[in-house]
Amino acid sequence: MSKEKRESDTTSMLRQGWISVALWMTVGLLLEGLLGYKAPGYLGDPQRRELLRLAHTHGTLLGVVLVVASLTAQRFAAPPRLAQLGLQIGSVMMPVGFLLAGIWHPEGDPGLAIWLVPPGALLVIFGAVAMALNQSRAR
């Protein structure tokens, strides 16, 4: 992999991570506002409240994971492109699945968008394991 391509890949992961942190922290602020103003659509629906909180926390944490993964790739060996893609795509699928499943859901069940969460989680796990193996091989 050329040095320019490696830098471009890690830069896009770093940018996505910081955008994700900013976006999902904004969602968290919005959720605090709904809680503060005692919005009935938020407080009266415990499942919605839980799914939206899961979206906020997963989105923020996975944004931080992307930043750390990018800095690791810049400092040490670059991970395989497939690992980066797994981290980047999974970091979007998981929180968006929770968010959409919380916005609209039938009585007692999460919305259909919850099906985005398990493959997103598998992609993130795959990316993390591939990065760990890549780091151990680089030594």
The CA distance from 89 to 92, in Å, is 5
Per-residue pLDDT of the chain (139 residues; tens, 9 = 90+): 566 766 777 899 999 999 999 999 999 999 999 999 999 999 999 999 999 999 999 999 999 999 999 998 888 877 889 999 999 999 999 999 999 999 998 888 898 999 999 999 999 999 999 999 988 877 6
- The answer to whether the beta carbons of residues 119 and 113 sit under 8 Å apart is no
The CA distance from 55 to 68, in Å, is 20
Tokens 């750390």 sit on residue = 68
- The answer to whether the beta carbons of residues 96 and 116 sit under 8 Å apart is yes
The upper half-sphere exposure of residue 87, i.e. CA atoms within 13 Å in the direction of its Cβ, equals 30
pTM: 0.89
What is each CA distance from 89 to 84, 132, 136, in whole angstroms?
9, 18, 24
